[in-house]
Amino acid sequence: MNFTEQSLRKFTEQLASKTPVPGGGGAAAYAGALAAALADMVGEFTVGKKKYAQVEPEIRLAMKKAQELREQLLACIEKDAAAFEPLSKAYAIPKDDPDRDTVMEACLQQAAAVPMEILELSAQVIQLADEFAKKGSIMMLSDAACAAAIGLAALKSAAVNVKINTKSMKDRTCAKQLDEKTDCMLKEFSSLADLVFESVYAKY
């Protein structure tokens, strides 16, 4: 099922329904895409203005990156759904099945990989929000702050979706590596998102 081609109403109805997908991972990716779109909009209202001519090349590069991130995050909605379905089936395998642990481990690692990608992409969106807040049109600062805030929601949502999968992994070395990376990124980019938001909020 192509969730990205659905209306907003239909997507949220499915998100609210008693179905395994879309879920938190898909919602995180969607939030990240919204944040990237907002960041891009700041650029759209900045380029072409004499006041910002000196930073226009940088703004255009940032806009291109925001557009790429938006597409990547939208793709993650489908990727997350595709990764979760095998895992939901693996949980149904009888516990006395000798292949259960092997199947579960493979599914858990696959299911953790997508939110990790969403985490990394959301971190980049927050960095762009910071750049747009510093260089973009002063009239659009609130949108840069919104991009940071929504990007933070995506970051946190992705992080908890990594953690729920690593918790069940038998390969504790792999789980520890993923957990440490998640913790580190969450701390660094939560701080940055908060800084962007607070710096803009304080202006009003």
Tell me the C-alpha to C-alpha distance, in Å, between residue 193 and each of 61, 81, 121: 20, 27, 14
Average pLDDT over residues 188-194: 98
Distance, CA of 85 to CA of 22 (rounded, Å): 10
What is the structure's pLDDT at 1?
A: 65
Least confident range from 6-15, 84-93, 107-116, 178-187: namely: 84-93
Distance, CA of 190 to CA of 196 (rounded, Å): 10
Average pLDDT over residues 18-22: 84
Q: Which burial class, exposed, middle or buried, applies to 163 when counting CB atoms under 10 A from its CB (0-12, 13-18, 19+)?
A: middle
Average pLDDT over residues 145-162: 98
Q: Is the pLDDT assigned to residue 67 strictly greater than 70? A: yes
Residue bearing tokens 């390969």: 171
Average pLDDT over residues 180-191: 98
Note the pTM of the prediction, 2 decimals: 0.94
What is the structure's pLDDT at 203?
A: 93
**% of the chain residues with pLDDT over 90:** 79
Confidence of residue 88 (pLDDT cuts 50, 70, 90): confident
